[in-house]
Structure 1
Amino acid sequence: MLYFPLWKKIWIIGLCVLGILFALPNLATQEMRDSIPDWLPRDSVNLGLDLRGGAHLLVEVQVGEVEADRMEALRADVRQALIDADVRRFTGLRAAEDHVSVRITNADDMARALEALRALAQPVTGLLGTGLPGMAAGSDLEVTDSGDQTLRIGLTEPAIAAMNERTMAQSLEIVRRRIDESGTREPTIQRQGEDRILVQVPGIGSAEELLGLIGRTAKLTFHAVKGIGAEAQNPGPGEMVLNDATSAEPLLLERRAILTGDQLVDSQLGFHPDTGLPVVNFRFDSGGARIFGNYTAANVGQLFAIVLDNEVITAPRIQSPILGGSGFIEGNFTVESATELSILLRSGALPASIKVLEQRTVGPDLGADSIAKGEVATALAFAAVIGFMLLVYRIFGVFACVALVVNVALIMGVLSAIGATLTLPGIAGIVLTIGMAVDANVLIFERIREELRRSKGVSRAIEKGYSEAFSAIIDANITTLIAAVILFAIGSGPVKGFAVTLGIGIVTSVFTAVLLTRLMISMWLERARPKTLQVERFRLVPDETHLHFMKMRRACFGVSVAGVVVSLGLLVAMGLNFGIDFRGGTMIEFRTAQEADLGAIRSEVSGLGIGDVQVQSFGTERDVLVRVEAQGADGDERMAVADAVGDRLTEVFEGGEVRRVEVVGPKVSGELLEAGILAIVLAVTAVLVYIWLRFEWQFGVGAVIALVHDVALTIGVFALVGIEFNLSIIAALLAIVGYSLNDTVVVYDRVRENLRKYKKMDLAQLLDLSVNETLSRTLMTSLTTLVALVAMFLLGPQVIQGFTFAMIWGIVIGTYSSIFVAAALLLSLKIKRDWTEEDPQKAGVQFGSAEG
């Protein structure tokens, strides 16, 4: 097993070198990366908004508006179709949001009317409206008789699905164009669900600025003006009244547009030739130029209105024919607003309006602070774990540390290669991986130590140690990976980033522990050929401990049950301090120039009359968090609250700065809470099934009970201390699920192994033996992970201290449950004893005299 053919050595070393090459650009400056040859990797990991500042928006595209517009157009088509079919007697022709209805007065005309209206239908391309080419999905219209000679015309399900897909695809493309036109680098634009778009843009000043760039429909139309002021009092059919944005005078316009913005081919910032004020220059395509030229030639001296999103931005008088197909739009523009409008027009109109569900803004200074603190915490955690491994495991510690360095490089290399975004929870995931990465090595080293105690030769002991530890390593890491996968599938934003780094870290940790360290040990053995070997320098627990854990099980069960009951009582009596993720509202992080006066800040914000206000210190004596209850269902209203609070604080407290703004609507917060609960339930269920399949049902039930115990106690502590319970805490709970399972599965794997060895040993003694044999590994892994997490808790950014606190507490509780609860549950559940592969030499061996 320790022999490596040349091809396998090349494969392992080559994979490590490749990962390091992909990771190296993260250590280089932008100028250095630009000078890297094209044949070498040059992409670095994208930093999330919480690390470099920027704006985040989650918007909902109002796809229903497109269907309503389609019904308005269909209404005219229905009228014309009935007239063409010589159906003259009909009434009640009206368009609703999702259908058009008409009543045929003469029953004899019903057959002709049905035939004429069904002829309006067109085939829907794509399988069931999904847009797959070459597949027919039926007709787009459905005509039904609603009784009383009333016909109902509406879109079919495939047509609605196809229309929504087109609307979302067009919206995504237009949002992308608008952001690209602004020159912003590395934006994230993703579709979420059926009708939502996530937009994250680093370096932009605020979410409000981002919304101004993408949020307007930018539907530009040109209309004939038929009257001004008093002449606009009574619009007739085919007319509408809009107010002039400059003079506020009402204008009577012809509803039918002369031209639309769809016929624009370019728009740019310009300046008025006479006044020098900013204007927007535009140019039509050939068809639009011809229409515009003909209209202006025929209407010299008349007014025409330029309408943007149902607002008249200007209504100039035609001085002479405009034959070149170009002109300019003037209004009360600044350079910034004219530039923004030109971008909107150039990128095209959104097919439907958008509604803001969630917005977040992180200032660049806060991002820089987060990077600095994250780097310090990660470096300290890394150094502490490496120092600990070197101190404990001698030469094997050196191998483990080399593997740990390569492991982190592989994580960064994979993140760079796939274009992932690194967030603060992602950094926490790397720190957690650093702590857990040594677990597989500890498992292997402890098994090697056990084999050496059995007087096996050095090579044989190492070979046996790897083979015996492999099953526990795979089972422990797969259960953690299950939690990471579920977290990625259901999580959102930064939580998904944590799941990505944790999942990648699990895979790379197994690779470096099982293959890389084995290769290094193999090469060392070939050269050193040691006759004897001592794996560890010192031990946390003595060899051959004989602690009787099963005798303590009733006391431990009593303590655990009492702890769970108290936790549930605290949860009911005190509740959780739900963060903005789960209850909606507005949160602002504000830094004052001097020590913050919480009372004065609360008084100023409460004076705005915006509902319940909470103010608390956050980190240093200059940092405060201001929370305001959710304001209505309208995203603009919630954003206005955030702006009002920020403006008041910066105005009253001179020298202060708004470092972070988060606005979450009640719809999103409710969905996030449901998704979080679902993620935990799914993770526990998936783990139950996996352990049931790999072991027996008693093991699965025991593991799940231990998990519920760990999660319940963690939630109870959060209810007691009042730390904010937000989306990252759900990630922490799932990480605790994975970690606790890691510990439990290692114990269960040894129980399964001993059940095969000692068929006649008393079950309580066998369970004591199994826990004692794994005790050193359990404490070693917990200690190294705690070293990493404590460094992150003490020195890391304030915004993830709740996350790291949950992880620290969860690891303490998980270690307790794996030693005192999980194995004892197997005794109560009476696991079966008819395992195969009995070792006859060890049958009937009693605990205390077993070889292990």
Structure 2
Amino acid sequence: MSSPFRSVFVLIVALVGILFALPNFLPKDVTENLPDWVPSQTMVLGLDLQGGSQLLLEVDREGIISERLQSLRRDVRNVLANQNGIGNIIATDEANAQLTVELTDPAQNDAARTALETLQNSLSNALFAGIGVNELAFGETADGKLTVSLTPDGINQRMSSLVSQSMEVIRSRIDELGTTEPTIQRQGDTRVLVQVPGFGDSDRLKSLISQTARLTFHMVYPGMSAAQAEAQGLPAGTMIVPSQDGGAELLYEDVAIGGESLVDAQPAFDQQRAQPVVSFRFDTRGAVTFGQITSANVGQRFAIVLDNEVITAPVIQQPITGGTGQISGSFTTQSANDLAVLLRAGALPATLDIIEERSVGPSLGADSVRGGVIAGIIGGISTIVFMLAAYGLFGVFANIALLLNITLVVGALSLLGATLTLPGIAGIVLTMGMAVDANVLIFERMREERAAGRSVIQAIQSGFSNAMSAILDSNVTTLIAAVVLFYLGSGPVQGFAVTLALGILTTLFTAYFVTKLIVLRWYDWVRPKQLKIQLLKLIPDETKLPFMSWRKIAIIASLVLSIASVGLTVVNGLNLGIDFKGGTSIEVQHQGGPADPGLIRTRLSELGLGDVQVQGFGTPEDVLIRIELQEGGPEAQQAAVDAVQETLAPENYEVRRVEAVSGTVSGELAMTSTIGLSVAVLGILIYLWFRFEWQFAVGAVVSTLHDVVLTLGFIALTGIEFNQSSIAAILTIVGYSLNDTVVVYDRVREFTRKYRKMPLIDLLDKAINSTLSRTVLTGPTTLLALLALALFGGEIIQSFVLPMIFGVVVGTYSSIFIAAPILVNLGLRSPREDAKAETGGAVDTPAV
């Protein structure tokens, strides 16, 4: 009864999935020795599972404008005064990205304008070769002064180009550290995401990545100190630069030689001074230039400037013609090595600000893996046992499909090289709970078809074909939520979205192809006379509960609860995590007994960090510390983290996790979360409108918004932290609730065609009762999986799991008492009622 093509296709997909999943369960030495034709790629563990550091960097727009104007100012002076002998006074307006040029002789206005226009620079787009934008705009003020401005398109194009260059420099620097599998991704036009698994020293990583490492050599202005220049006025073409020892130096603005001429830099040790230094070597052209400069300035001071700070300014004792030298300063062995790494990798073309930081210690990662695996095993076993108890032999068929389903998810994640995070494990566990829903729908339809008098094979065929529309519609709505979640979230949330989306696709495949193939093969072998499908009957077959007679009470209760939820959310507010309000979150663990939050609170109150919250977190040894957003930017935020670590180190506390989010990121997340939820609801509305009538689409959206509002009220009531994981939970609830609702709606749509003379109220009651057995079987399996996550998944994932548990219960309720009754209020009518309306209320009813 099953085609050979279908059997071969399923077998090939299953074998490929197993091959790609297998390396994840084998020891590393075995994986490395596998034949070349066997896939050896495994899932990459995320930072939350193996520890490591993550930084989100943003190009400093104001810094780029300031630097470009400074460079442009030198070019303008050179082209006017040096090349054309035109006297001028130049003023800089950084707010408007503009230079104003006042000529000493206004009669030279036209000549000056012609000279300035030679500075025009066309910046090309990397995506569209040959298409460029003008970087400069030229104009004139009302009083006759010339202006040179940076165009907005030119600024944006330069920033985009600088991000691409910065990514290559960052990659070179990280490669120098010898770490494995770093992730460096571009985010938009101005940001770079860096993830380095297994590298726990986040401070060192930040220093290596965010430090510009722009090395320049300048001659020191002779005969005048920086203090004298500040008092008397700067000589033309000079600048004051702070020095590493706390003072300042007066330098010529012109760069004598730049760090781009370096070809090598290595840490070394100065035997005479007994201190670490960094030796460097120029390329051929740089060596010649360096030799010329040192030959012409013997006896003068020569400053080595790193990131606008004078490292050293020695006197040139003799010409240096070998093209080598050394940088000395207050270096340690590690800082000398790090500076050498920076110089070898090259300078960042722009300043990168750290706007988000997350680091996880290896011990916390190991605990997360352990908890996730335990939760997965318990969730899987409970689901398998429940299906065996409910369906017996058909439960075995469903469990085989479920195991293959999970194998295909793991294989797909390995094939894609995806990163497995703790929320990703939650996605796999949740897939276990939700995947059986498709099989439950199929098995229940087979029972109904058999009860309706169809033969065994007809019941099997009709069960699969009639259940597929509900399976497809319910899973597509969840897939829409997963896609929005992927584009909305970042890091672990994206990991959950990928896992959920893959779980949906593999569920559709296993339900339609695998389960059907197994059942048809079983029929071919056994040729049973009866179908004994369900063993555990929680709902009798002839149940006729009058749900519609309770609809008014249910709607009033829902309105009251919704209003109360809105009130709780407004009055109490949500316990916003740092994802939404910015600041720093630090998880510490006391080594040697239960932690003392009171002592920690007392110690930290003396640091003057503003609002500091200290609370227990998970086990008695763990404590979560939240520090408000500090004034002064990332540097002040890092200083606050350092102060907390130094204060708690003597008390024997180990830092296990640090998350720091700037106000920029938190504000954007609040906006994108609102937009994302709106887009998800709109996409689902459009899909359901296309698949059903408009009343069904509106009813589904209303019942879903009801679930979201009640879940927000639950979060506000319990005080659970509201963060990115909470957004993931809400969008998952949207998908799950719609899954239930669409199953009921699909049956309503079917019954309107089948029972054309039945009043709508009776038809809705019959539809709900006919799907009730499926509802009470699917709900517990999902809840079992979620409860396993709640008990063993760890404290970090609670903000996802607890709202999900509440959402599953509320979603089941709303599918019965909100989604179906609202069809009556929206004016949906049965075919008989439509006929009455068209004929003015009179319809002939033939005798039966």
Q: Shorter-normalised TM-score: what interval?
A: over 0.9
User: C-alpha offsets along residues 743-797 of structure 1, whole Å, 9 cap, x if unaligned?
Assistant: 0000000000000111110110000000001111111111110010001101111
TM-score by length of 1: 0.94
| Match for residue 29 of structure 1 among 24, 27, 35 | 27
- The corresponding residue for 1:775 is 772
Q: Secondary structure at the match of 1:547?
A: coil
Is contact 1:359–1:662 with CA below 8 Å preserved after alignment? Answer: yes
Cα offset for 1:293?
2.2
1:269 aligns with 2:264: no
Distance in 2 separating the partners of 1:835 and 1:368: 63
Q: Secondary structure at the match of 1:659?
A: strand
- The corresponding residue for 2:509 is 511
Distance in 2 separating the partners of 1:393 and 1:324: 84
| Match for residue 800 of structure 1 among 793, 797, 801 | 797
- The corresponding residue for 2:840 is none
Deviates more, 1:460-469 or 1:672-681: 672-681
Deviates more, 1:478-487 or 1:259-268: 259-268
1:678 aligns with 2:666: no
1:270-285 counterparts in 2 under 5 A?
270-275=268-273, 277-285=275-283
- The corresponding residue for 1:841 is none
- 1:282–1:667 Cα change, 3 Å: same
Is contact 2:759–2:830 with CA below 8 Å preserved after alignment? Answer: no
Distance in 1 separating the partners of 2:104 and 2:287: 45
AA aligned to 1:457 is: S
Distance in 1 separating the partners of 2:247 and 2:669: 46
Deviates more, 1:29-38 or 1:512-521: 29-38
| Match for residue 740 of structure 1 among 737, 742, 760 | 737
- The corresponding residue for 2:240 is 241
Distance in 2 separating the partners of 1:42 and 1:400: 29
Q: Secondary structure at the match of 1:821?
A: helix
- The corresponding residue for 1:162 is 157
Cα offset for 1:712?
1.0
- 1:695–1:231 Cα change, 3 Å: closer
Distance in 2 separating the partners of 1:698 and 1:367: 48
| Match for residue 51 of structure 1 among 49, 54, 78 | 49
1:110-509 counterparts in 2 under 5 A?
110-125=109-124, 130-227=125-222, 230=225, 233-234=228-229, 235-246=234-245, 248=246, 250-275=248-273, 277-509=275-507
1:565-604 counterparts in 2 under 5 A?
565-592=563-590, 593-604=592-603
User: C-alpha offsets along residues 30-85 of structure 1, whole Å, 9 cap, x if unaligned?
Assistant: 22221122222111111111111111211211133233322222223334444589
AA aligned to 1:624 is: V
AA aligned to 2:737 is: S
User: C-alpha offsets along residues 295-322 of structure 1, whole Å, 9 cap, x if unaligned?
Assistant: 3334444432211112122233444433
User: C-alpha offsets along residues 653-689 of structure 1, whole Å, 9 cap, x if unaligned?
Assistant: 23x2111111112221121122222222221121111
Is contact 1:782–1:815 with CA below 8 Å preserved after alignment? Answer: yes
Deviates more, 1:420-429 or 1:116-125: 116-125
- The corresponding residue for 1:613 is 612
- The corresponding residue for 2:539 is 541
- 1:590–1:273 Cα change, 3 Å: same
AA aligned to 2:497 is: A
Is contact 1:228–1:251 with CA below 8 Å preserved after alignment? Answer: no
Cα offset for 1:107?
5.9
Cα offset for 1:144?
2.1
Report the number of matched residues: 833
Distance in 1 separating the partners of 2:213 and 2:122: 30
Distance in 1 separating the partners of 2:43 and 2:832: 49
Structure 2: where are the runs of 5+ without partners? 836-842
Cα offset for 1:274?
4.0
1:697 aligns with 2:694: yes
- The corresponding residue for 2:838 is none
Deviates more, 1:287-296 or 1:544-553: 287-296
Cα offset for 1:326?
2.0
AA aligned to 1:613 is: V
| Match for residue 69 of structure 1 among 57, 67, 70 | 67
AA aligned to 1:120 is: L
Deviates more, 1:630-639 or 1:276-285: 276-285
Distance in 1 separating the partners of 2:833 and 2:184: 56
Cα offset for 1:232?
5.9
Q: Secondary structure at the match of 2:239?
A: strand
AA aligned to 2:696 is: F
Structure 1: where are the runs of 5+ without partners? 839-843
Is contact 1:642–1:663 with CA below 8 Å preserved after alignment? Answer: no
- 1:786–1:269 Cα change, 3 Å: same
Distance in 2 separating the partners of 1:607 and 1:231: 38
- 1:752–1:243 Cα change, 3 Å: closer
TM-score by length of 2: 0.94
Distance in 1 separating the partners of 2:511 and 2:582: 44
Cα offset for 1:7?
3.1
- 1:267–1:52 Cα change, 3 Å: same
AA aligned to 1:58 is: L
Is contact 1:296–1:318 with CA below 8 Å preserved after alignment? Answer: yes
Distance in 2 separating the partners of 1:304 and 1:108: 41
RMSD: 2.4
Is contact 1:407–1:509 with CA below 8 Å preserved after alignment? Answer: yes
AA aligned to 2:547 is: F
AA aligned to 2:351 is: S
- 1:29–1:322 Cα change, 3 Å: farther
AA aligned to 1:659 is: R
- The corresponding residue for 1:731 is 728
Distance in 2 separating the partners of 1:370 and 1:32: 25
AA aligned to 1:535 is: I
Is contact 2:225–2:250 with CA below 8 Å preserved after alignment? Answer: no
Is contact 1:436–1:785 with CA below 8 Å preserved after alignment? Answer: yes
Distance in 2 separating the partners of 1:229 and 1:77: 26
Is contact 2:69–2:92 with CA below 8 Å preserved after alignment? Answer: no
1:531 aligns with 2:526: no
Is contact 1:576–1:718 with CA below 8 Å preserved after alignment? Answer: yes
AA aligned to 1:20 is: I
- The corresponding residue for 2:808 is 811
Is contact 1:124–1:158 with CA below 8 Å preserved after alignment? Answer: no
Is contact 1:47–1:421 with CA below 8 Å preserved after alignment? Answer: yes
Distance in 1 separating the partners of 2:566 and 2:133: 55
Distance in 1 separating the partners of 2:783 and 2:91: 72
- The corresponding residue for 1:649 is 648
Deviates more, 1:75-84 or 1:657-666: 75-84
Is contact 1:438–1:781 with CA below 8 Å preserved after alignment? Answer: yes
Distance in 1 separating the partners of 2:534 and 2:638: 59
Distance in 2 separating the partners of 1:545 and 1:183: 66
Is contact 2:225–2:249 with CA below 8 Å preserved after alignment? Answer: no
- 1:104–1:249 Cα change, 3 Å: closer
Is contact 1:232–1:241 with CA below 8 Å preserved after alignment? Answer: no
Q: Secondary structure at the match of 2:116?
A: helix
Distance in 1 separating the partners of 2:486 and 2:541: 41
User: C-alpha offsets along residues 357-393 of structure 1, whole Å, 9 cap, x if unaligned?
Assistant: 1112211101100100110011110111011112211
Q: Secondary structure at the match of 2:480?
A: helix
1:752-771 counterparts in 2 under 5 A?
752-771=749-768
- 1:270–1:410 Cα change, 3 Å: same
AA aligned to 2:195 is: Q
